[in-house]
């Protein structure tokens, strides 16, 4: 316990020192929530790695590897990484040129201010709050196993630490500390992976002692179910605002793309490890163990405290950075999309900063409430992804590619997809949950847009094609100037 406590004290002294430094340095709303569009390559790489490796990865995915084997990586992690890379490669340039703050900003600019309300509320409350709660619960399990704290006390302590750091430093402090924490995350997960392999007797021993279905890329599901699940959940990552914030925070389009690709490739490689650790753990832990407790249990059982403390601090770093990112995501939604757009369009920097920090408290407090109610981390995370994806993916793609999209069509699609996704468990339908929501979203979006006219508040454009055309015009102009 002494080693664990020492590492944790050193870690939080470092974090709050950075938070205090940026509390003094950060003066504007842009700096607090979007890093003033000025973050460098390694800062963006580090924050992507750290944010990806949160509670769902270290806790949920180790548990998933324990229950279904390596197929979990192909069913969930790999498709998610693929869609993140698609967002970076295909959309980073046109999105960054819009000078946006949030996903809802895109809808607000295209259809008028109030059109961003639904995606804003969805992003802040349906995704940010429960996902933040996952990080709080994850941190409380570390306090329980390493320090013996009661889970409820651990949740309260986690809330205080996360809220304190987020209020102090904002996104700039988060990104800078993420770059440092990503090293701890990588070292920690690699140490635990190697220790698991050695403890189980090496790869040959692991392979001979493991049921083949846990080593199969389709596991107990079958290829069809793996592909269906991947296609139903992974599109969420096209509208994952944490990645959008990193695109906007980058100091140039080149950094946004190069750092984004590098960060997610590293994150993809790291994602193999938690599934493998969970798979290996089947050989030496009780098979009826709660999968959510597996990561911390394996760490404390396999490693001496001097080394295990490093791994636990790596997990702590991942949870801390994930929590602050999700809080700031929700805060930007409340401040930019609700307060500034709808309530006080002429708000000055001081008012926006006060609103930002107040919204940080609101999102954090809601996360605390949900944390006390959570019983299943993996299921809660999947629900957050499912709702966000079914409501926002097709409207986002329509805004980017289809000029005929109307305000009524987009809003109808969002509302019906939300209702349909929530109602699915009660309908007894023989169709995948998320696919059902996607179909409602797509069909209603197309049909209603074709039957309605553009609203007076709309800027009638397809953002992707308009940006491409603008780039060609600029290139032609530059060429003419060079020639003359």
Q: Where are the domains of the chain?
A: 2-391
Residue located via tokens 């109610």: 373
Burial class (CB in 10 A: 0-12, 13-18, 19+), 212: exposed
- What is the pLDDT, as a whole number, of residue 456? 85
What one-character-per-residue DSSP string does 250-319 give? BSSHHHHHHHHHHHHHHHHHHHHHHHHHHHHHTTTS-TTS-GGGHHHHHHHHHS-HHHHHHHHHHHHHHH
Lookup: tokens for 188:
């920690």
- What is the pLDDT, as a whole number, of residue 479? 47
Q: Give, in order, the Cα–Cα distances in Å from 134 to each of 264, 312, 326, 379, 381.
A: 21, 16, 10, 11, 8
- What is the pLDDT, as a whole number, of residue 261? 94
- What is the pLDDT, as a whole number, of residue 471? 56
Question: Would you write out the chain's pLDDT as a tens digit for each of its 484 residues?
Answer: 678 888 888 888 888 888 888 777 766 666 665 555 677 888 888 888 877 876 566 677 888 888 888 888 888 888 889 999 999 999 988 888 877 777 777 888 888 767 777 777 777 777 788 888 888 888 888 888 778 888 899 999 999 999 888 888 776 777 777 777 777 778 878 888 888 888 888 888 888 888 888 888 877 777 777 777 777 778 888 988 888 878 888 888 899 899 999 999 999 998 899 899 889 988 888 887 777 777 777 877 777 888 878 878 877 877 887 788 788 878 877 877 777 777 777 777 778 778 888 888 999 999 899 888 866 655 666 777 788 889 889 999 999 999 999 999 999 999 999 899 889 888 888 888 888 999 999 999 999 999 999 988 888 888 888 766 665 555 444 444 444 4
What one-character-per-residue DSSP string does 382-433 give? HHHHHHHHHHHHHHHHHHHH-TT--HHHHHHHHHHHHHHHHHGGGT--SS-H
Cα separation, 281 vs 293, in Å, equals 12
- What is the pLDDT, as a whole number, of residue 32? 62
- The whole model's pTM is what? 0.81
- What is the pLDDT, as a whole number, of residue 375? 64
- What is the pLDDT, as a whole number, of residue 263? 92
Phi/psi at 250 (nearest 5 deg)? Answer: -65, 145
Tell me if residue 470 falls in helix, strand or coil.
helix
CATH topology of domain 2-391: Sodium/glucose cotransporter (1.20.1730)
């Amino acid at each position: 316990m002494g080693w664990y406590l020492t590492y944790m004290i050193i870690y939080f002294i470092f974090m709050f020192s950075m938070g205090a430094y940026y509390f003094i340095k950060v003066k504007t709303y842009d700096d607090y929530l979007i890093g003033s569009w000025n973050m460098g390559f390694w800062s963006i790489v580090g924050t992507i790695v750290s944010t990806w490796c949160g509670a769902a990865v270290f806790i949920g995915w180790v548990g998933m590897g324990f229950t279904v084997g390596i197929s979990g990586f192909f069913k969930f992690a790999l498709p998610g990484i693929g869609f993140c890379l698609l967002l970076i490669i295909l959309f980073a340039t046109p999105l960054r040129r819009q000078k946006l703050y949030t996903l809802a900003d895109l809808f607000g600019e295209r259809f008028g201010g109030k059109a961003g309300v639904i995606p804003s509320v969805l992003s802040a409350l349906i995704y940010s709050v429960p996902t933040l709660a996952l990080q709080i619960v994850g941190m409380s399990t570390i306090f329980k196993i390493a320090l013996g704290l009661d889970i409820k006390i651990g949740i309260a302590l986690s809330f205080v630490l996360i809220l304190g750091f987020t209020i102090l430093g904002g996104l700039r402090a988060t990104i800078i500390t993420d770059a440092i924490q990503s090293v701890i995350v990588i070292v920690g997960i690699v140490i635990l992976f190697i220790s698991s392999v050695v403890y189980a007797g090496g790869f040959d021993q692991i392979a001979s002692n493991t049921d083949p279905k846990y080593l199969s890329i389709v596991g107990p599901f079958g290829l069809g179910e793996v592909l269906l699940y991947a296609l139903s959940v992974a599109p969420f990552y096209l509208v994952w605002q944490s990645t959008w914030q990193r695109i906007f925070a980058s100091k140039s389009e080149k950094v946004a793309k190069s750092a984004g690709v590098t960060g997610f490739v590293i994150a993809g490689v790291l994602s193999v490890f938690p599934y493998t650790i969970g798979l290996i753990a089947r050989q030496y832990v009780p098979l009826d163990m709660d999968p959510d407790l597996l990561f911390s249990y394996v760490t404390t059982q396999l490693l001496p405290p001097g080394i295990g403390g490093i791994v636990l601090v790596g997990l702590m770093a991942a949870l801390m950075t994930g929590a602050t990112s999700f809080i700031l995501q929700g805060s930007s939604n409340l401040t930019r999309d609700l307060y500034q757009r709808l309530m006080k369009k002429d708000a000055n920097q001081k008012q926006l900063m006060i609103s930002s920090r107040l919204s940080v408290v609101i999102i954090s407090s809601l996360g605390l409430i949900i944390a006390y109610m959570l019983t299943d981390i993996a299921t809660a995370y999947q629900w957050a992804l499912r709702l966000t994806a079914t409501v926002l993916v097709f409207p986002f793609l329509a805004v980017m590619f289809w000029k005929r999209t109307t305000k009524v069509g987009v809003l109808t699609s969002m509302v019906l997809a939300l209702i349909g996704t929530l109602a699915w468990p009660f309908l007894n339908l023989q169709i995948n949950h998320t696919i059902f929501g996607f179909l409602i979203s797509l069909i209603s979006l197309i049909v209603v847009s074709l039957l309605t006219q553009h609203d007076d508040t709309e800027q009638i454009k397809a953002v992707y094609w308009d940006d491409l055309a603008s780039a060609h015009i600029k290139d032609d102009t530059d060429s003419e100037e060079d020639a003359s």
